[in-house]
Structure 1
Amino acid sequence: MGSMQRPVRIANCSGAVPDPGYQMYNQAKYGPVDVITGDYLAEINLGNDAEAMSKGEHPGWIQTAWDGIEQTASLLDSKRIKLVINGGALNPKGLAEKVHEFCKSQNLNLKVAWVEGDDLMHRIDDILKSQSSLPHLDRDNGNVQLAKDTQVFLEDREQNKIVSANAYLGGRAIRRGLEEGADIIICGRVADASPVIGAAAWWHSWASDDFDALAGALVAGHLIECSSYITGANFSGFFKHDIAELLNLGFGIVEVDANGDCIVTKHEALNGFVNADTVKCQFLYELQGNIYLNSDVKADTTHISIEDVGKDRVKVSGIKGHPPPPTTKLAIFYKGGWQCELLLNASGYATAKKFALQEAQLKTKLKDWGVLDKFDILDFQWVGRPESNPSCQLASTTYLRVFAQAQDKDVVAKVLPAWATNSMQHFAGFHCSLDLRTAAPKPFLAFYPAILEQSELDEAVSIIGETNSQVQRFAVGPPEKSEPLEPREDYETSNPIGLESFGETVMAPLGDIALGRSGDKGANVNCGLFVHTQEEWEWLRTLMTKAKMREMMGTDWKHWYHLERVEMPEIKAVHFVVYGPLGRGVTSSRLLDSLGKGFAEFIRDVHVPIPKKFLDSRSNL
């Protein structure tokens, strides 16, 4: 273990399944690190892979995680770098055993362990019996209206069969494994930041109630969990950089101090950049307000400070910690039914009338066949708007996306023939791809974020000895101290400034002044927006009320959505959560932007009255 005087240097090697194995190798090779962590699991992975694994068509663990270990293990050994990843997915034991055998075959001095306790499929029937209605994550928010059929799996266990149920684990088992000498720890569904929390708590020997420090590590883990999102990817300020700067990005590193503050950085030899803006954008990604939850700690980020302290070095501080909730999230995926989509193009003139005709033709035929009212969702989405006086045909072309869902496969199967029946009665200039496979019914999984008591978990780390059959198992219990969740904060600015006091305004995109980021949280979309000067902050927090956000969403706003708003004054950010747009989550959302990543960019493109002096000062930079 390292000295108390030195921060622990923790690198990230993955933010999603596609991140290639060489990113793990790069983090080990191109500079000093103490621990490498990797987050391979979007919520969609476990549900999708569970069925394939049950049929013997998938090993349960993530192939790119194994690729990374195969390439990097010798460096981990020679440089004595610890590795903690959630690439074990549904089968952490299986991957750990494979890694152990590989390390032995290469004569590497690496002790391998796995964390278990997240997978509750073997107990889901008992859990449902003891909790006849598994509480939804948003149950205590009386303003939130859940999407239709959200809890259908509780009513029809056969039709809407549960395929996976994984609890989000904290860093306690990871820490114990490191304390017991493990070099490589393979996890399943630990929370995205838990590997960083576990590693930092081990390095600094934090007590379980060092909540400020644990909360700092939680935010540090959040900052690097998404691979290159901190080094230039998914960055709303990217347009100020040359394309070459945005290619082949290296991934992020955090240097976590004994008090939980951190420096965010990267290896100098790898491409990309880390600055206060990239860090603020990533911080604002996939939040649910100013309280960030983990099963080890609750982080209050209201007064987070993010500041440049050198080239590719950003200091993050000001985070307060509190005891964690007694509960954790249980991610349930179940068979939601059948869905399809059909993409139909129109060029230019009178496009709105063309798409109205297409919708009427399709609905009329489905009604004739007696199935129109049997769809759970039948959505007609006009994607894009044709350029006025177009420069070429593609600039004139937009498409209609027909999205359908139903419990019955035969109902969804009617969409394509209903269109085909009228296909020669089409509007002027109709065209589409000749590949219509997207219109065939396919099964989809729906997501249900439940709440489960942490005392229900059997969380442990198992360390492999000389052979795979020689295993030491160390159980870790629930947190020693917890406290119930308070209602989420939600408020307008406390002392608004008269907007007229900022002088003459110009209608321009909000993005000319503000950067931001958005993402998905179950059924909900978050959106954080921030500016750079104190005067811009006084303007932004006054302008961006909940009513203004609803107005800027335009026809996307639905009366049953719920909106929450908080402020983070030190980073000059206003943060919103829109409850409801993603329906039953990513895997079944009707939205084209099912991950909510495009929402902030849409809002930043909406024109608002911006003080002319702000725009003038930007143009002079």
Structure 2
Amino acid sequence: MAKRAVLIVNCSGAMSDPGDHMLNQAKYGPVDFITGDYLAEVNIANDAEAYRNGQHPGWISTAWDGLCKSVEILHEKRIKVIINGGCLNPRGLAEKTHNLVQEKKLNLKVAYVEGDELLPRVHELMAKQERLKHLDAENPQVNLAPGTDNFLKRPGSSEIVSANAYLGIRAIKRGLEEGADIIICGRVADASPVMAAAAWWHGWPDSAYDELAGSLIAGHLIECSTYVTGANFAGFDKYDIKDLLNLGLPIVEIDSNGECVVTKHEALPGFVTEDTVKCQLLYELQGNIYLNSDVKADIARVQVKEESKNRVRVSGVKGYPPPPTTKLAVFYQGGFQCELTINATGYATAKKYELQAAQIFSKLQEWGVLEQFDTLDFQRIGVPAENPRCQLESTTSLRIFAQAKDAATLGKLAQAFMYNGMAHFAGMHSTLDMRQLRPIPFNAFYPAVIEQTELEESINLIDPSTREVRKIVVGPPAKTEPLAPRENYETANPVDLASFGPTVDRPLGDIALARSGDKGANVNIGLFVHTDEEWDWLRSFMTRSKMRELMGADWQDWYFVERVEMPLIRAVHFVVYGPLGRGVSSSRLLDALGKGFAEFIRAVHVPIPRKFLNL
């Protein structure tokens, strides 16, 4: 007889999420597991040097806050916790948690996962694994940003800051089998805690690929905090502001067949609808194949259906054996960067910014240092209102962003700006704080792939009585399957756009919702509509060339676009390779996480059939 659905809640999508979320998720309803994703790709790199110097604990403080606030109710309600808040030091947070449990005389067994930290071996791996192949290396049409792999040409150098592999479910699941109640992880894949909880609860074997794939998507749906309960939601403008405050975090109820229902605690604010679920489903994808160390999920035929208020079922996910590799996030010292934002008001704004750029360029050329800059961007932000009602309506900004290998080079930018400081354009103004122009070091991101056989993934159980640690190495997956090239296609049987009747130029967002995000150097975007006729129009209209056209002046010829469809949710998905350069932490873009890209594309005017707009 199939066991009831397992109730798994999320308590964090980033290190900023407070410990209150863990407490609320435990307090306001029945729960079997609490999971938390505290790690963006850059967390580990940002804290790595401070941790090695003894200036940082290595784990996420908000994760500890949540455990402190919740541990007694966890014990009372027998709720298990699996979080990646251990970051660089999962053992340290686990030992601290064990001490807390002992002080309060609670019957909870604490464990931690190790094996993701590969910095001590990274140079060995660089020599052994074909110089650490880039995640996108298999596609010859993808170009990497200049300098992306320069560090690989300097084996033995000390510029690598961190190297952490994305672990799967095997150690976590083994910990649950050994009776662990709280499992602290470092860099496991975002959905791995949810998958492990479901696999242990339902007793799935490693070969239950459809079920594991369903739980992978369930984990993806709740891993980003409130993103599926009303936050970062393209359709938010249809709701009152009061309905968007103090949003509660989500729950997935995962059935024995891997299907799930996305919901939330009734007592907490927020909303779960087909639209919020579709938006989160389309977030940070790399196409229609979603990868984990333990399964490969095909979401081409995924279905999203509302069952009742705040209850949305997700089904149709197919699973296949995992790849023999996993992702290895390598961060290295990329150099130095600085920026300055100045403002212009009103008349002839474009020429004002043109003058500012020319003043700086000409002085750097005169001093013979212009070629020493890796990046020197002049980014115009906003368009001044015509006939403005106030000065702010008439004001826009120019962001001057620069990167170089040496801090001294960037110092010349400040000198060039100040040299012409009193020769500025009419009405130039900015903050009086020039500290923005001080060069600061930055880390660049290199997403590599590594054979899973190279990992020593382990669960480490702390004995409640003796504090002794029992280490169990779990080993790689028993069966793997090489990755096929990513799918990339235009729609089958496109419909003649003229057949939809008269059109009117309106923002694409008038009929389409969307979500976008970062995937290393790349930006993903998924767009969807609500009726079958709108779907025929969207899939026929939104081609790869149309995406390039909608990007306008942001498109660069060295970028590459992939396109797939998810017809049962009426969605078209794109990956644009290249815009984020060497990754979030070093991107020249103002929108370094790619989150605003979807809202930009939705704002572009396109010829929409009038009948879709009820005109």
TM-score by length of 1: 0.98
State which of 48, 65, 84 in structure 1 corresponds to 2:63. 65
Aligned partners of 2:384 and 2:491: how far apart in 1?
39
Q: Secondary structure at the match of 2:472?
A: strand
State which of 458, 461, 477 in structure 2 corresponds to 1:460. 458
The match for 2:240 is 242
The match for 1:114 is 112
Task: Output the amino acid matched with 1:332.
Answer: V
Q: Deviations over 1:269-318 (max 9, x none)?
A: 00000010000000000000000000000000000000100110000000
Q: CA deviation at 1:142?
A: 0.6
Asked if the contact 1:160–1:336 (Cα under 8 Å) also holds between the matched residues in 2, the reply is: no
Instruction: Say whether residues 1:357 and 2:342 are aligned partners.
Output: no
Alignment of 1:328-339 (within 5 A): 328-339=326-337
State which of 1, 6, 9 in structure 2 corresponds to 1:8. 6
Asked if the contact 1:60–1:91 (Cα under 8 Å) also holds between the matched residues in 2, the reply is: yes
Task: Output the amino acid matched with 2:580.
Answer: L
Q: CA deviation at 1:4?
A: 3.4
Aligned partners of 1:503 and 1:203: how far apart in 2?
53
Q: Secondary structure at the match of 1:68?
A: helix
Asked if the contact 1:177–1:185 (Cα under 8 Å) also holds between the matched residues in 2, the reply is: yes
Aligned partners of 2:552 and 2:199: how far apart in 1?
46
Asked if the contact 1:159–1:335 (Cα under 8 Å) also holds between the matched residues in 2, the reply is: no
Q: Deviations over 1:57-96 (max 9, x none)?
A: 1000000000000000001101000000000000000000
The match for 1:164 is 162
State which of 246, 262, 265 in structure 2 corresponds to 1:264. 262
Asked if the contact 2:11–2:225 (Cα under 8 Å) also holds between the matched residues in 1, the reply is: yes
Q: Which structure 2 segments of 5+ residues have no match?
A: none
Instruction: Say whether residues 1:544 and 2:519 are aligned partners.
Output: no
Aligned partners of 1:459 and 1:132: how far apart in 2?
22
- Measured on the aligned residues, the alpha-carbon RMSD in Å equals 1.0
The match for 2:442 is 444
The match for 2:581 is 583
Segments of 4+ moved more than 4 angstroms: 157-160
Task: Output the amino acid matched with 1:365.
Answer: K
Aligned partners of 1:27 and 1:592: how far apart in 2?
34
Instruction: Say whether residues 1:574 and 2:566 are aligned partners.
Output: no
Asked if the contact 2:125–2:131 (Cα under 8 Å) also holds between the matched residues in 1, the reply is: no
Aligned partners of 1:171 and 1:468: how far apart in 2?
27
Aligned partners of 1:125 and 1:142: how far apart in 2?
26
Aligned partners of 2:302 and 2:555: how far apart in 1?
30
Asked if the contact 1:118–1:166 (Cα under 8 Å) also holds between the matched residues in 2, the reply is: yes
Aligned partners of 1:259 and 1:72: how far apart in 2?
31
Q: Deviations over 1:340-383 (max 9, x none)?
A: 00111111111111111110100111111111000000111001
The match for 1:342 is 340
TM-score by length of 2: 0.99
Structure 1 window deviating more from structure 2 (220-229 vs 155-164): it is: 155-164
Q: Secondary structure at the match of 2:48?
A: helix
The match for 1:149 is 147
Task: Output the amino acid matched with 2:447.
Answer: P
Q: Sequence identity, in percent?
A: 65
The match for 2:15 is 17
Q: CA deviation at 1:417?
A: 1.2
Q: CA deviation at 1:469?
A: 4.1
Q: Secondary structure at the match of 1:376?
A: strand
Instruction: Say whether residues 1:367 and 2:365 are aligned partners.
Output: yes
Asked if the contact 1:514–1:529 (Cα under 8 Å) also holds between the matched residues in 2, the reply is: yes
Q: CA deviation at 1:129?
A: 2.5
The match for 1:55 is 53
State which of 506, 510, 526 in structure 2 corresponds to 1:512. 510
Aligned partners of 1:344 and 1:154: how far apart in 2?
37
Q: CA deviation at 1:55?
A: 1.3
Aligned partners of 1:82 and 1:274: how far apart in 2?
24
Structure 1 window deviating more from structure 2 (412-421 vs 516-525): it is: 412-421
The match for 1:411 is 409
Q: CA deviation at 1:132?
A: 5.0
The match for 1:320 is 318
Asked if the contact 1:100–1:468 (Cα under 8 Å) also holds between the matched residues in 2, the reply is: no
Q: Deviations over 1:554-591 (max 9, x none)?
A: 00000000000000000000000000000000000000
The match for 2:208 is 210
Aligned partners of 1:614 and 1:556: how far apart in 2?
29
Aligned partners of 1:576 and 1:430: how far apart in 2?
40
The match for 2:36 is 38
Task: Output the amino acid matched with 1:341.
Answer: E
Aligned partners of 2:156 and 2:392: how far apart in 1?
47
Aligned partners of 1:156 and 1:351: how far apart in 2?
45
Q: CA deviation at 1:232?
A: 0.1
CA separation of 1:468 and 1:195: change in aligned 2, threshold 3 A: farther
